[in-house]
Amino acid sequence: MRTLLSTLLIFGICQAGPAGADEALSNSVFQKHRSGVEQAVNRALAYLATNQSADGTFNDSYGRSVGVVSLVGMAFLSAGYTPGYGEYSENLDRCMNYVLDSQRSNGLLDKGDSGHGLMYAHTIATLFLSECSGMVDPKTQDKLGPVLAKATKLILEAQSVPKNDKHQGGWRYKPDSRDSDLSCSGWALMALRSAKLNGAEVPDEAIGDAVGYVLKNHDKESGRFGYTDPWGHAETLTGCGLLCLELCGFHGTESTFRAGDFVLQHRQKIVNNAHEYYANYYNSQAMFQLGGRFWAQYADWMYGEYVPKQQSNGSWSNGRNGGTYGTSMMVLSFTVPYRQLPIYQRDETVDETP
């Protein structure tokens, strides 16, 4: 089995961190946890592969949702595996084909198993397809391109549905929703950013409106971000708001540093929360974007907290959402610094020491 360590060495990730003292700090954290993280991710991917059905789905909570199938696909991608070739390529191809075959006439990616969270599943699936784009064979790319274009168009159309000032610029559960929440909007913004990196026609105005919505849910004094205001569910959503700002050019601002401190101060509160894996995923991405002490402290805590909690079969589950969801989210959290996905990239020219 290809190990995470070999992936790191092949892609030079150990040397690609922030310069000087920040680089030494980041590398020391990785060295401390390297063996445990490598083993944990390998066991998790084996669990996901073993439990996948021939059609690409999984037999647990939301295991037929295109969103969960896409999270599994991105978990394999995040560890350095690719569609069409090598270990886990068959699993990745199953994920991708399941999503590609799910598109409705209006562009929505859905197999009818997403419940009320249609836009959650759609935006995650769009992000997955966008991350696959460019690494598949020409025949698959010819199929993927039009599906991705229609899926991205639907996200933009859902954002433009008339909403009042409080909700304008964001997204919620359905394509025609007239309200918004930060949780769904975070996935939508990540999908748009990924699509834009792939050359899709995503208007700057759409990104600007999305950032405007994110800031409506931000308290500058404390650094927190909330669900539909600056206060609700801040322990699990501040990482989401922080990442949105980081990805959209707000790196190194007073707001982002305060948000990073808020995440560090409240990280233990996400443990056993109903949205624990979701919160940790966004926290890990956001803190990696901030870099420096923020990433070092959070990564040290995250690996120390969650490596020992992996179950004997390789999964993570808090009993609420099933092993497939929890395991794929933990893999995505653990592998953020390996930067196998374009969405994980950060600007290394920015001074990361606050």
Residue 30: the pLDDT is: 72
Residue with token string 């026609």: 201
Indicate whether 92 belongs to any domain.
no
For residues 340 and 117, give the distance between their C-alpha atoms in angstroms, rounded to a whole number.
Answer: 28
Residue 354: the pLDDT is: 42
For residues 20 and 301, give the distance between their C-alpha atoms in angstroms, rounded to a whole number.
Answer: 22
Burial class (CB in 10 A: 0-12, 13-18, 19+), 10: exposed
Q: What are the two backbone dihedrals, phi and then psi, of residue 195, each rounded to the nearest 5 degrees?
A: -65, -40
Q: What is the domain extent for residue 241?
A: 217-297
For residues 317 and 303, give the distance between their C-alpha atoms in angstroms, rounded to a whole number.
Answer: 16
For residues 124-158, one letter each, b for 16 or more C-beta atoms within 10 angstroms of the residue's C-beta and e for the rest, the string is: bbbbbbbbbbeebeeebeeebeebbebbbbbbbeb
Residue 340: the pLDDT is: 65
Q: For residue 51, give both structure tokens.
A: 């439990």
Which DSSP category does 13 fall into?
A: G
Say if residues 109 and 102 touch (Cβ distance below 8 Å). Answer: yes
Residue 49: the pLDDT is: 98
Residue 20: the pLDDT is: 52
End-to-end CA distance of the chain: 40
Residue 33: the pLDDT is: 87
* Type of residue at 249: G
Say if residues 167 and 213 touch (Cβ distance below 8 Å). Answer: yes
Which residues have CB under 8 Å from 1's CB, separation 6+?
42, 46, 87
Indicate whether 239 belongs to any domain.
yes
* Type of residue at 293: R
Residue 11: the pLDDT is: 27
For residues 331 and 1, give the distance between their C-alpha atoms in angstroms, rounded to a whole number.
Answer: 16
- Residue 66: closest CA among 44, 97, 105: 97
Burial class (CB in 10 A: 0-12, 13-18, 19+), 34: middle
Indicate whether 180 belongs to any domain.
no
> Which residues does residue 231 pair with via DSSP β-bridges, in sequence order?
none
Indicate whether 221 belongs to any domain.
yes
How many other CB atoms sit within 10 Å of the CB of residue 345? 11
For residues 342 and 354, give the distance between their C-alpha atoms in angstroms, rounded to a whole number.
Answer: 25
Residue 352: the pLDDT is: 40
Q: For residue 198, give both structure tokens.
A: 């792939």
How many other CB atoms sit within 10 Å of the CB of residue 277? 25
Indicate whether 153 belongs to any domain.
no
For residues 262 and 45, give the distance between their C-alpha atoms in angstroms, rounded to a whole number.
Answer: 32
Residue 12: the pLDDT is: 30
Rounded mean pLDDT for each run of 10 residues along the chain, 354 residues in total:
34 36 68 90 98 96 93 96 92 97 96 81 97 93 96 98 96 96 96 90 94 96 96 96 92 90 98 95 94 93 97 89 92 87 57 40
The strand ranges marked E within 81-184 are none
Indicate whether 333 belongs to any domain.
no
Indicate whether 242 belongs to any domain.
yes
Indicate whether 6 belongs to any domain.
no
> Which residues does residue 109 pair with via DSSP β-bridges, in sequence order?
103
How many other CB atoms sit within 10 Å of the CB of residue 118? 24
DSSP string spanning 39-61?
A: HHHHHHHHHHHHTB-TTS-BSST
Q: What total number of domains does the chain contain?
A: 1
